[in-house]
Amino acid sequence: MEPLGWKAFLEERTGLPSALARAFDVAMPGGPRWRRVFGASLAMLLLLEALTGVAMMTVYSPGITTAWSSTWYLEAVLPWGRMVRGLHHFGTHAIVVLLALHLAQVVIDRATRRPRELNYLLGLALAGLVLFATMTGFPLAWDQRGYWVSRIETGIIGSVPVLGPTLQRLLIGGTHYGQLTLTRFYTLHVWLVPLALLLGVWAHVAMVRRHGLKGDAARGDTDARWWPGQAARDALVALITVLLVTWMARRWGAPLDAPADPSSHYPAVPEWFFMPLSQLLKHFPGRRQIIGTMVIPGVLTTFLALLPWIDRSSSRLRRGLTLAPIALAGIGALVLGLELRRDLATPAFRRSERAAEATSRRARGLARAGIPPEGPLEMVRNDPAVRPGELFVQYCGTCHAVRGMSRQQKGPRLDGFGSRDWATAFLTWPDHPELMGTTEIHDMPGQRRRLHDDGMRAVSEWLYSRGYEPGEAAPESALVSAGEAIYRRRCTTCHQGEGDTTETEAADRDAPNLDAWGSRAYIRAQLINAGAPENYGARNHMPRFHDRLNEREMTMVVDYVRSLRTRPAPTVRDEPPSTTP
């Protein structure tokens, strides 16, 4: 065989060089134009989505306890993870913008007309598919925003008459928006939709090649080709788009909200390109909702789909009139979007947005030490910085007051509980409305007359020393021993524990044992059974919490109550003489 170049070698065996040459040989009458570049940039961005998507699939795990965690890991731990996720996120935004530009160019340049009608329809379907891809991708991180927005979107699907409920069940996998929803959306997002897009784009491009690029024959040069004049323009704009997306990904990164919490209040706002639709809902309340969810979007889509057969005139005026509804819809969308932004500028929304951002920051902070197998939501719910306070409000705050947490007064205020000041306040006037006043136990009179200021100070110091832990302000030992002596001699008539009971009969010593007052053990004992004989006895009304709180929660509440001792105790002036028995 005679020696040949490598091209000829390949050609004979594979036919590849000539196939490539054919691939680049697309007619473009009138020569290259800048306004024809959007399709190529779209293809480039779809490729970007595919690449970053596959990269993320090597990390992501689609489970309700793992989705957020793996996304966070990708975002915060893996080098370049934030960039890859950012590219995928902002790539979507760029695709939506480019789709609008591509559609506008096609419509304006009459590329919808014979023989391109079907390819135009395919393009519209592909645009819908892209929007569906963003919908299925949005909840995959299983964060608050994705979860709530998607729950609302599937709710809208379910509200469509006749087929809606079935479609919704198929989409979310039953009636519960949960694990099966996530796996279904994942399957759709990484496999079915991309497959459909791939086939669709292939057919779209094949038809473009068959028809030739819709050129501008009036500019002459009817033999012009796509390669290389237009290809260079396409490549340049695609590069600029990708760089822009990269810049946005680097600048902002893709957002990651707190882990999805179905029981929370969340101000769900969709991505900007769904905002007009979301706002439209507000204008059609109640039974008319279907106008906003189906009729108006349906009419617009139908109008776009029929365009090849509606827009047939060559007169500028008539075309302007025909295309006016599209412009009007665009303006309408803009107005709706601005309206939503205005609605969102309320203080209430800002507040919930700030709260959501704070939870998100907390979740990301907690995750740094690792996420437990129960998942990120449990991790946030058991956050030692927040959970104890929540438990307190839920279980204790219905009776006990604490500044900033609860205002109920069916038992003593617990600000400063365990401190000297709290002890002094109690000794001064036990039946003060902020102390035992609202309970049914009123046996103890004010002690100032019996103990005087010095004795009160000493007893308070001793009481403080009972729950003292290293690291806190140390009790004065001289005062403590003086206080203990007074207590053992003068208080143990009623209070149980070691002491001098000779003052009166010891028969009804039923007041609480204070030997460990203010300590963790003491607080725990009250939580387990405040009505135990060594505590408040039969007249106690505080519920028993041993079966309401699990061990971890019990410890959290104990720690929380103990943390209150550094707060200012209630200020109690002398007991009014009239109430002294």
Residues 333-352 that bind other proteins (CB under 8 A): 343, 348-349, 352
Question: Is residue 180 close enough to count as binding other proteins by CB under 8 A?
Answer: yes
Q: In terms of CB distance, is 246 or 555 closer to other proteins? A: 555
281 touching other proteins, by CB under 8 A: yes
Is residue 175 a contact residue for other proteins (CB under 8 A)? yes
Q: Does residue 297 belong to the site contacting other proteins (CB under 8 A)?
A: no
Residues in 216-245 at the binding interface with other proteins, rule: CB under 8 A: none
Contact between 300 and 331 (Cβ < 8 Å): no
Q: Closest approach of Cβ 344 to other proteins, in Å?
A: 11
Burial class of residue 351 in the structure, from the number of CB atoms within 10 Å of its CB (0-12 exposed, 13-18 middle, 19+ buried) = exposed
Q: Which amino acid is residue 39, in one-letter code?
A: G
Q: Of 107-115, 125-133, 155-163, 514-522, which part binds other proteins (CB under 8 A)?
A: 155-163
Measured from the CB atom, is 257 or 484 closer to other proteins? 257
Task: Tell me if 531 contacts other proteins by CB under 8 A.
Answer: no
Question: Structure tokens of 338?
Answer: 């601005």
C-alpha separations of 142 from 68, 78, 353, 493 in Å: 5, 19, 18, 61
Output the smallest distance, CB 285 to other proteins, in A.
4
Q: 65 vs 119, which CB is nearer to other proteins?
A: 65
Q: Near other proteins by CB under 8 A, which window of 68-76, 98-106, 167-175, 563-571?
A: 167-175
Q: Tell me which residues in 66-85 interact with other proteins (CB under 8 A).
A: none
Q: Which of 44, 46, 48, 64 binds other proteins (CB under 8 A)?
A: 64
| The one among 74, 87, 133, 156 contacting other proteins by CB under 8 A | 156
Task: Give phi and psi for 102, each to the nearest 5.
Answer: -60, -45
Q: Which of 61, 105, 246, 264 binds other proteins (CB under 8 A)?
A: 264
132, 227, 284, 395: which one binds other proteins (CB under 8 A)? 284
Closer residue to other proteins (CB): 228 or 262: 262
Q: Which residues of 151-180 are buried (b: 16+ CB within 10 A; e: fewer)?
A: bebbebbbeeeeebeeebeebbbeeebbbe
| 399 close to 411: Cβ distance less than 8 angstroms | yes
Find where tokens 């002596």 sit.
485
Contact status, residue 149 vs residue 267, Cβ threshold 8 Å: no
* Binding of residue 155 to other proteins (CB under 8 A): yes
Q: Is 560 in the site for other proteins (CB under 8 A)?
A: no
DSSP state of 416: T
CB atoms within 10 A of CB 459: 27
Residue whose pair of structure tokens reads 């975002």 in the numeric block: 75
Does residue 152 touch other proteins according to CB under 8 A? yes
- Long-range pairs for 495-502 at CB < 8 Å and ≥24 separation? 496/534
Is residue 191 within 8 Å of residue 54, measured between CB atoms?
A: no
Task: Tell me which amino acid residue 184 is.
Answer: R
Residue 118: name the closest of 37, 210, 198, 194 by CA: 210
Cα 359 to Cα 361: distance, rounded to the nearest angstrom? 5
Q: Site for other proteins (CB under 8 A): which residue of 61, 222, 246, 289? A: 289
**Of 8, 20, 21, 170, which lies in the binding site for other proteins, with binding defined by CB under 8 A?**
170
At closest approach, how far in Å is the CB of 59 from other proteins?
A: 22
294 three-state secondary structure? helix
Binding mask 490-529 for other proteins (x = CB under 8 A): ----------------------------------------
Draw the binding track, 382-421, toward other proteins (x: CB under 8 A; -: no contact). Answer: ----------------x-----------------------
Q: Which of 35, 210, 219, 265 binds other proteins (CB under 8 A)?
A: 265
Tokens 């134009």 locate to 33
Residue 61 near residue 67, CB atoms below 8 Å? yes
Task: Name every residue whose Cβ is closer than 8 Å to that of residue 455 and which is 6 or more positions away in sequence.
Answer: 447, 483, 486
Residues engaged in binding other proteins (CB under 8 A): 64-65, 148, 151-152, 155-156, 158-159, 164-166, 169-170, 173-176, 178-180, 262-268, 281-282, 284-287, 289, 343, 348-349, 352, 374, 398, 550
